[in-house]
Structure 1
Amino acid sequence: MAIKPKETVVPFAVHGEGTGVYQTLTAGGEGGHVFHTDAYPAFGGQDSAPSPLFYALGALTSCNQVTGSLVAKDLGITVTSWNFDIVGDLDTAVLVGGAEGNANFDRVEVRATIETDATEEQFAQLISETERRCPVTQLFKRSGLEFENNWTRAEIPASV
Protein backbone atom coordinates (compact mmCIF):
# COMPACT_ATOMS: atom_id res chain seq x y z
CA MET A 1 0.00 0.00 0.00
CA ALA A 2 1.40 3.41 -0.99
CA ILE A 3 2.11 5.94 1.72
CA LYS A 4 -0.08 8.99 1.30
CA PRO A 5 1.82 12.29 1.73
CA LYS A 6 0.77 14.63 4.52
CA GLU A 7 -1.80 17.20 3.46
CA THR A 8 0.48 19.97 4.69
CA VAL A 9 3.38 19.01 2.39
CA VAL A 10 3.86 21.31 -0.60
CA PRO A 11 6.45 20.17 -3.15
CA PHE A 12 8.84 22.81 -4.48
CA ALA A 13 10.57 21.90 -7.73
CA VAL A 14 13.17 23.66 -9.86
CA HIS A 15 14.55 22.57 -13.24
CA GLY A 16 17.98 23.81 -14.30
CA GLU A 17 20.05 23.52 -17.46
CA GLY A 18 23.09 25.31 -18.75
CA THR A 19 26.63 25.33 -20.03
CA GLY A 20 29.84 26.22 -18.26
CA VAL A 21 28.81 27.86 -14.99
CA TYR A 22 25.79 29.70 -16.45
CA GLN A 23 22.41 28.13 -15.78
CA THR A 24 18.77 28.86 -16.58
CA LEU A 25 16.34 27.67 -13.94
CA THR A 26 12.58 27.33 -14.07
CA ALA A 27 10.58 27.19 -10.87
CA GLY A 28 7.70 24.74 -10.81
CA GLY A 29 4.17 25.81 -10.09
CA GLU A 30 1.66 27.93 -11.92
CA GLY A 31 4.02 30.88 -12.41
CA GLY A 32 6.81 28.94 -14.12
CA HIS A 33 9.22 31.70 -13.10
CA VAL A 34 12.54 31.69 -14.94
CA PHE A 35 15.76 32.91 -13.38
CA HIS A 36 19.45 32.64 -14.14
CA THR A 37 22.71 32.06 -12.28
CA ASP A 38 26.28 32.75 -13.22
CA ALA A 39 29.52 33.23 -11.31
CA TYR A 40 32.23 35.81 -10.90
CA PRO A 41 35.03 35.56 -13.50
CA ALA A 42 37.34 34.19 -10.77
CA PHE A 43 34.98 31.20 -10.60
CA GLY A 44 34.80 30.76 -14.38
CA GLY A 45 31.74 32.90 -15.07
CA GLN A 46 30.89 36.17 -16.78
CA ASP A 47 29.00 37.72 -13.81
CA SER A 48 25.98 38.11 -16.12
CA ALA A 49 23.52 36.93 -13.45
CA PRO A 50 23.64 36.56 -9.66
CA SER A 51 25.75 33.76 -8.23
CA PRO A 52 23.88 30.86 -6.65
CA LEU A 53 25.39 32.10 -3.37
CA PHE A 54 23.53 35.41 -3.74
CA TYR A 55 20.33 33.47 -4.37
CA ALA A 56 20.95 31.47 -1.19
CA LEU A 57 21.35 34.65 0.84
CA GLY A 58 18.42 36.26 -0.96
CA ALA A 59 16.30 33.23 -0.13
CA LEU A 60 17.21 33.81 3.52
CA THR A 61 16.00 37.44 3.46
CA SER A 62 12.79 36.75 1.60
CA CYS A 63 11.93 33.60 3.55
CA ASN A 64 12.39 35.54 6.80
CA GLN A 65 10.01 38.21 5.50
CA VAL A 66 7.38 35.69 4.37
CA THR A 67 7.65 33.71 7.61
CA GLY A 68 7.73 36.88 9.70
CA SER A 69 4.57 38.12 8.00
CA LEU A 70 2.81 34.87 8.90
CA VAL A 71 4.06 35.09 12.50
CA ALA A 72 3.04 38.77 12.79
CA LYS A 73 -0.46 37.84 11.66
CA ASP A 74 -0.57 35.05 14.27
CA LEU A 75 0.56 37.53 16.96
CA GLY A 76 -1.94 40.17 15.85
CA ILE A 77 0.72 42.81 15.23
CA THR A 78 1.25 45.13 12.30
CA VAL A 79 4.47 45.32 10.30
CA THR A 80 4.72 48.16 7.78
CA SER A 81 8.30 47.70 6.60
CA TRP A 82 10.98 44.99 6.44
CA ASN A 83 14.62 45.89 5.83
CA PHE A 84 17.26 43.14 5.67
CA ASP A 85 21.01 43.11 5.19
CA ILE A 86 22.66 39.71 5.08
CA VAL A 87 26.37 39.01 4.83
CA GLY A 88 27.83 35.57 4.28
CA ASP A 89 31.55 34.97 4.79
CA LEU A 90 32.78 32.29 2.39
CA ASP A 91 36.32 30.93 2.42
CA THR A 92 36.76 29.88 -1.22
CA ALA A 93 39.70 27.52 -0.56
CA VAL A 94 37.48 24.43 -0.89
CA LEU A 95 35.27 25.70 -3.75
CA VAL A 96 38.01 27.16 -5.92
CA GLY A 97 41.19 25.46 -4.76
CA GLY A 98 39.88 22.01 -3.88
CA ALA A 99 41.25 22.18 -0.33
CA GLU A 100 39.98 19.72 2.25
CA GLY A 101 37.23 21.05 4.48
CA ASN A 102 33.72 22.40 4.35
CA ALA A 103 32.66 24.46 1.32
CA ASN A 104 29.88 26.12 3.34
CA PHE A 105 29.80 29.73 4.48
CA ASP A 106 31.84 30.13 7.67
CA ARG A 107 29.44 32.72 9.05
CA VAL A 108 26.15 34.35 8.07
CA GLU A 109 24.79 37.47 9.73
CA VAL A 110 21.20 38.65 9.36
CA ARG A 111 20.56 42.29 10.25
CA ALA A 112 16.92 43.31 10.10
CA THR A 113 15.05 46.49 10.91
CA ILE A 114 11.33 45.98 11.25
CA GLU A 115 8.77 48.80 11.51
CA THR A 116 6.05 47.44 13.75
CA ASP A 117 3.54 48.25 16.45
CA ALA A 118 4.75 45.22 18.44
CA THR A 119 5.63 45.59 22.10
CA GLU A 120 9.14 44.50 23.13
CA GLU A 121 7.69 41.16 24.26
CA GLN A 122 5.79 40.63 21.01
CA PHE A 123 8.87 41.62 19.02
CA ALA A 124 10.95 39.04 20.86
CA GLN A 125 8.27 36.45 19.97
CA LEU A 126 8.30 37.62 16.34
CA ILE A 127 12.06 37.06 16.16
CA SER A 128 12.12 33.66 17.88
CA GLU A 129 9.08 32.27 16.06
CA THR A 130 10.29 33.50 12.68
CA GLU A 131 13.68 31.89 13.28
CA ARG A 132 12.04 28.63 14.38
CA ARG A 133 9.50 28.48 11.54
CA CYS A 134 11.58 29.78 8.61
CA PRO A 135 12.73 26.82 6.46
CA VAL A 136 15.70 28.70 4.96
CA THR A 137 16.89 29.96 8.35
CA GLN A 138 16.78 26.38 9.58
CA LEU A 139 18.82 25.21 6.55
CA PHE A 140 21.53 27.70 7.43
CA LYS A 141 21.46 27.15 11.21
CA ARG A 142 21.46 23.36 10.97
CA SER A 143 24.37 23.40 8.52
CA GLY A 144 26.71 24.20 11.39
CA LEU A 145 27.88 27.64 10.32
CA GLU A 146 28.09 30.55 12.74
CA PHE A 147 24.65 32.20 12.47
CA GLU A 148 23.96 35.70 13.82
CA ASN A 149 20.37 36.95 13.81
CA ASN A 150 20.15 40.63 14.83
CA TRP A 151 16.74 42.28 14.54
CA THR A 152 15.89 45.86 15.53
CA ARG A 153 12.38 47.11 16.19
CA ALA A 154 11.48 50.50 14.71
CA GLU A 155 8.34 52.44 15.47
CA ILE A 156 5.82 52.89 12.68
CA PRO A 157 6.09 56.54 11.60
CA ALA A 158 3.11 58.71 12.48
CA SER A 159 0.85 59.54 9.55
CA VAL A 160 1.43 62.93 8.04
Structure 2
Amino acid sequence: MTSAKTSVKTSVVPFVVDARGTGVAQHLSVQGTAGHEFDADAYPAFGGRDAAPSPLFYALGALTSCNQVTASLVAKDLGITLGEFTFRVQGDLDTGVLVAGEDGNANFDRVTVEATVQTDAEGAAFDHFVAEVERRCPVSQLFVRSGLEFVNRWERADLT
Protein backbone atom coordinates (compact mmCIF):
# COMPACT_ATOMS: atom_id res chain seq x y z
CA MET A 1 0.00 0.00 0.00
CA THR A 2 1.35 3.39 -0.95
CA SER A 3 0.64 6.55 0.96
CA ALA A 4 -0.44 9.68 -0.80
CA LYS A 5 1.98 12.53 -0.35
CA THR A 6 0.49 15.81 0.69
CA SER A 7 2.20 18.69 -1.00
CA VAL A 8 2.54 21.67 1.30
CA LYS A 9 3.38 24.96 -0.36
CA THR A 10 6.02 26.77 1.66
CA SER A 11 4.85 30.06 0.13
CA VAL A 12 1.44 29.90 1.85
CA VAL A 13 1.14 32.24 4.83
CA PRO A 14 -2.01 32.10 6.98
CA PHE A 15 -3.62 35.44 7.87
CA VAL A 16 -5.83 35.06 10.95
CA VAL A 17 -8.13 37.63 12.54
CA ASP A 18 -10.13 36.96 15.71
CA ALA A 19 -13.19 39.10 16.43
CA ARG A 20 -15.68 39.62 19.21
CA GLY A 21 -18.64 41.96 19.28
CA THR A 22 -22.28 42.75 19.95
CA GLY A 23 -24.84 44.32 17.67
CA VAL A 24 -22.92 45.54 14.63
CA ALA A 25 -19.74 46.61 16.47
CA GLN A 26 -16.66 44.41 16.70
CA HIS A 27 -13.20 44.45 18.21
CA LEU A 28 -10.72 42.57 16.05
CA SER A 29 -7.26 41.18 16.84
CA VAL A 30 -4.64 40.08 14.36
CA GLN A 31 -2.85 36.82 15.19
CA GLY A 32 0.85 36.32 14.68
CA THR A 33 1.93 39.95 14.60
CA ALA A 34 2.82 42.61 17.11
CA GLY A 35 -0.67 42.48 18.62
CA HIS A 36 -2.50 44.73 16.19
CA GLU A 37 -6.09 45.44 17.14
CA PHE A 38 -8.84 47.47 15.53
CA ASP A 39 -12.55 48.15 15.75
CA ALA A 40 -15.37 48.13 13.24
CA ASP A 41 -18.85 49.61 13.48
CA ALA A 42 -21.59 50.75 11.11
CA TYR A 43 -23.52 53.88 10.29
CA PRO A 44 -26.59 54.51 12.47
CA ALA A 45 -28.79 53.71 9.44
CA PHE A 46 -27.32 50.19 9.56
CA GLY A 47 -27.77 49.82 13.34
CA GLY A 48 -24.40 51.15 14.47
CA ARG A 49 -23.06 54.16 16.33
CA ASP A 50 -20.43 55.10 13.70
CA ALA A 51 -17.81 54.80 16.47
CA ALA A 52 -15.29 53.15 14.11
CA PRO A 53 -14.98 52.65 10.35
CA SER A 54 -17.47 50.26 8.77
CA PRO A 55 -16.32 46.94 7.34
CA LEU A 56 -16.88 48.39 3.87
CA PHE A 57 -14.36 51.17 4.52
CA TYR A 58 -11.90 48.57 5.77
CA ALA A 59 -12.40 46.60 2.54
CA LEU A 60 -11.67 49.69 0.44
CA GLY A 61 -8.75 50.66 2.69
CA ALA A 62 -7.34 47.16 2.34
CA LEU A 63 -7.49 47.67 -1.42
CA THR A 64 -5.32 50.81 -1.28
CA SER A 65 -2.84 49.35 1.20
CA CYS A 66 -2.50 46.04 -0.63
CA ASN A 67 -1.96 47.86 -3.92
CA GLN A 68 0.86 49.89 -2.37
CA VAL A 69 2.53 46.81 -0.85
CA THR A 70 2.16 44.90 -4.12
CA ALA A 71 3.47 47.88 -6.10
CA SER A 72 6.59 47.93 -3.95
CA LEU A 73 7.20 44.23 -4.60
CA VAL A 74 6.54 44.57 -8.33
CA ALA A 75 8.79 47.62 -8.61
CA LYS A 76 11.63 45.69 -6.99
CA ASP A 77 11.15 42.83 -9.48
CA LEU A 78 11.04 45.24 -12.45
CA GLY A 79 13.93 47.40 -11.26
CA ILE A 80 11.96 50.62 -11.07
CA THR A 81 11.98 53.28 -8.38
CA LEU A 82 8.86 54.45 -6.56
CA GLY A 83 8.23 57.50 -4.41
CA GLU A 84 5.03 58.76 -2.82
CA PHE A 85 1.61 57.21 -3.52
CA THR A 86 -1.82 58.80 -3.35
CA PHE A 87 -5.04 56.79 -3.65
CA ARG A 88 -8.73 57.56 -3.90
CA VAL A 89 -11.05 54.56 -3.93
CA GLN A 90 -14.80 54.72 -4.34
CA GLY A 91 -17.15 51.80 -3.89
CA ASP A 92 -20.71 52.23 -5.16
CA LEU A 93 -23.07 50.10 -3.10
CA ASP A 94 -26.77 49.64 -3.78
CA THR A 95 -28.01 48.93 -0.25
CA GLY A 96 -31.24 47.29 -1.43
CA VAL A 97 -29.98 43.76 -0.76
CA LEU A 98 -28.15 44.59 2.49
CA VAL A 99 -30.80 46.77 4.09
CA ALA A 100 -34.10 45.78 2.47
CA GLY A 101 -33.38 42.12 1.66
CA GLU A 102 -34.07 42.59 -2.04
CA ASP A 103 -32.99 39.90 -4.50
CA GLY A 104 -29.56 40.39 -6.02
CA ASN A 105 -25.93 40.66 -5.05
CA ALA A 106 -24.99 42.54 -1.88
CA ASN A 107 -21.59 43.38 -3.38
CA PHE A 108 -20.48 46.79 -4.58
CA ASP A 109 -21.76 47.48 -8.10
CA ARG A 110 -18.56 49.29 -9.02
CA VAL A 111 -15.21 50.03 -7.39
CA THR A 112 -12.95 52.71 -8.81
CA VAL A 113 -9.28 52.99 -7.87
CA GLU A 114 -7.51 56.24 -8.72
CA ALA A 115 -3.82 56.09 -7.88
CA THR A 116 -0.88 58.38 -8.48
CA VAL A 117 2.64 57.18 -7.85
CA GLN A 118 5.96 58.91 -8.23
CA THR A 119 8.17 56.71 -10.37
CA ASP A 120 10.93 56.60 -12.93
CA ALA A 121 8.89 54.15 -15.07
CA GLU A 122 7.37 55.70 -18.17
CA GLY A 123 5.22 54.65 -21.13
CA ALA A 124 5.01 50.90 -21.72
CA ALA A 125 7.12 50.17 -18.62
CA PHE A 126 4.63 52.05 -16.44
CA ASP A 127 1.65 50.33 -18.10
CA HIS A 128 3.29 46.93 -17.50
CA PHE A 129 3.95 47.87 -13.87
CA VAL A 130 0.27 48.82 -13.31
CA ALA A 131 -1.02 45.65 -14.98
CA GLU A 132 1.33 43.52 -12.92
CA VAL A 133 0.26 45.23 -9.68
CA GLU A 134 -3.40 44.50 -10.45
CA ARG A 135 -2.62 40.89 -11.38
CA ARG A 136 -0.54 40.21 -8.26
CA CYS A 137 -2.52 42.17 -5.64
CA PRO A 138 -4.64 39.72 -3.59
CA VAL A 139 -7.20 42.33 -2.57
CA SER A 140 -7.56 43.69 -6.12
CA GLN A 141 -8.18 40.14 -7.26
CA LEU A 142 -10.89 39.68 -4.62
CA PHE A 143 -12.72 42.61 -6.17
CA VAL A 144 -11.97 41.76 -9.82
CA ARG A 145 -13.02 38.13 -9.48
CA SER A 146 -16.19 39.02 -7.59
CA GLY A 147 -17.75 40.20 -10.85
CA LEU A 148 -18.24 43.87 -10.01
CA GLU A 149 -17.19 46.63 -12.36
CA PHE A 150 -13.57 47.31 -11.39
CA VAL A 151 -11.99 50.52 -12.69
CA ASN A 152 -8.26 50.83 -12.06
CA ARG A 153 -6.74 54.18 -13.11
CA TRP A 154 -3.10 54.86 -12.31
CA GLU A 155 -1.09 57.96 -13.17
CA ARG A 156 2.59 58.46 -12.87
CA ALA A 157 4.26 61.47 -11.36
CA ASP A 158 7.91 62.47 -11.51
CA LEU A 159 10.07 61.45 -8.60
CA THR A 160 10.93 64.33 -6.29
Identify the residue that residue 90 of structure 1 maps to in structure 2.
93
Corresponding residue to 1:29 among 32, 39, 48: 32
SS across alignment from 1:96: helix
Moved over 2 A (4+): 1-5
- Partner Cα separation in structure 2 for residue 64 and residue 117 of structure 1: 18
Q: Read off the aligned partner of 1:46 and give its amino acid letter.
A: R
2:111 pairs, out of 99, 108, 129, with 108
> CA–CA distance in 1 between the matches of 2:35 and 2:143?
26
How far, CA to CA, are the matches of 1:120 and 1:79 in structure 2?
A: 15
Give the whole-Å Cα distance in 2 for the aligned partners of 1:52 and 1:13.
Answer: 16
* Unmatched segments (≥5 aa) in structure 1: none
Question: Percent of counterpart pairs with the same letter?
Answer: 63
What amino acid is aligned across from residue 86 of structure 1 in structure 2? V
Cα deviation for residue 31 of structure 1 reads 1.5
For 1:108 and 1:66, how far apart are their aligned partners in 2? 19
Residue identity in the other structure for 2:47: G
Unaligned 5+ segments in structure 2 are: none
**Which TM-score applies when normalising by structure 2?**
0.95
TM-score, reference length from structure 1: 0.95
Residue type at the aligned position of 1:154: A
Give how far 1:4 is off: 4.3
Moved more, 12-21 or 1-10: 1-10
Q: 1:140, 1:13 → 2: CA distance?
A: 20
Match runs of 1:138-153 below 5 Å: 138-153=141-156
- For residue 139 of structure 1, what is the amino acid of its counterpart? L
Range that drifts further, 29-38 or 133-142: 29-38
